[in-house]
Structure 1
Amino acid sequence: MKSDTSMDDDEAISRSLAGDLTAYEALVARYSALAHRTAAMLGAGDEAEDVVQEAFVKAYRHLASFRREAPFRPWLLRIVANETHNLTRSRGRRAELAVRLGAVTETVAPDDPASTAVATDRRARLLEAVRGLPERERHAVVCRYFLQLTEAETAQVLDWPLGTVKSCTHRGLARLREEVGSELA
């Protein structure tokens, strides 16, 4: 049976709570790619698929506790972030950012090898600089600029106060400016 991706999140949640697994499949289909990117960018690396699967299972189990007036996306991403944190903590080492080159896109003429090479080099330098940020700053920058979450959504996903998101994002961007300068502007 194919999931109905035309229903909005509220309807899918209501139907899921009533036992309609097809409705939950619609939520999984809608948010799988974003959840996978989130897990990978927050340090799950090759285990991002496992993190995402566990996050969707936990989200389903706790769907009844979801506050219906709140948006579903940040709630789910917070579960993904928590699962990623649990994974990296259990590894006993600091999380490493595993960003796919597709996460940062630049418009380059496909028939211009010089532009393609420059864009690839810029992307690699930027991603290396992001990987080198302290963990909290890296998480804030990844959520805000790679995942394009609002400050409020980032605060919810990372379970931080809004002021912490703002200060970590500011410090992270300042470090990136120092590291890569205006060459990426």
Structure 2
Amino acid sequence: MSAIPPEAPLDDEEFVTRARAGDLEAYELLVARHTASAHRTAVLLGAGADADAEDVIQEAFVKGYRKLSRYRGESSFRAWLLAIVANETRNLHRSRNRRDGLVLRVAVANPASEIAEDVAVGTVLARERRARLVQALRLLPVKDREVIVCRFFLDLSEDETVTMLGWPRGTVKSRTSRALAKLRGLLDREEVGRG
């Protein structure tokens, strides 16, 4: 296939068209373009840190390539790909829940197994932290929640957030700062209340 000139930035649709025609470089460029948001999505949806999130996004990119002919362009490629990431994260949760159940049963059957107990406790604590973050986010006023989700959950740039929310740049900057402070305060208060 022909090389993609660096001075001609292409949109996702052009990369998809080229990838469908067998241009692996075009798909590699799609992967490079969307790896950060795919990783963030996997982590935020509960894949956990590094290794599990990497496994999820790798599997999602492979499935995305295999299913490229099914992409109809009704939504952005990014949204389509992140839906695959979400599905892979759910698959990870199902297998993790089965594994955790087995670990808990082994720990009950063999109380001397400290390793099984450590894994089970770590899993429970990670889920509790995620649940606290989501709960605190839900307590924020709508506009604070919107800016946090745009900037950190959807990984939108400041410019994209300005466009999406229709706010001036200064408002996005100040609201992001204040919303993060409120979110930290909610999480700190809950931590003190639990202690």
TM-score, normalisation: structure 2: 0.51
Aligned with 2:134: secondary structure? coil
RMSD (CA atoms) = 3.8
Aligned with 1:88: secondary structure? helix
Aligned to 1:76: 81
2:72 is the counterpart of 1:67: yes
**Larger helix fraction of residues:** 2
Percent identity, aligned pairs only?
50
Aligned to 1:91: 96
Aligned counterparts of 1:25 and 1:177: Cα–Cα separation in 2:
38
Deviation digits for residues 38-62 of structure 1 (CA, Å, limit 9, x no counterpart): 1112111231101000000011111
Match of 1:7 among 10, 15, 21: 10
* Cα drift, residue 30 of structure 1: 0.2
Match of 2:186 among 171, 179, 185: 179
Name stretches of at least 5 consecutive residues in structure 2 with no aligned partner.
101-122, 139-144, 157-182, 190-195
Deviation digits for residues 54-111 of structure 1 (CA, Å, limit 9, x no counterpart): 00001111111111242111111111011011101211158946xxxxxxxxxxxxxx
Look at both structures and tell me which one has the larger radius of gyration over its CA atoms.
2
Name stretches of at least 5 consecutive residues in structure 1 with no aligned partner.
98-127, 151-175
Q: How many residues align?
A: 126
Q: RCO (CA 8 Å, sep 6+): is it higher in 1 or 2?
A: 1
The 8 Å contact of residues 12 and 27 in structure 1, kept in 2 or not, is answered as yes
Change (3 A) 1:4 1:131: farther
Change (3 A) 1:177 1:22: closer
Q: Match of 2:33, as an amino acid?
A: R
Aligned to 1:148: 154
TM-score, normalisation: structure 1: 0.54
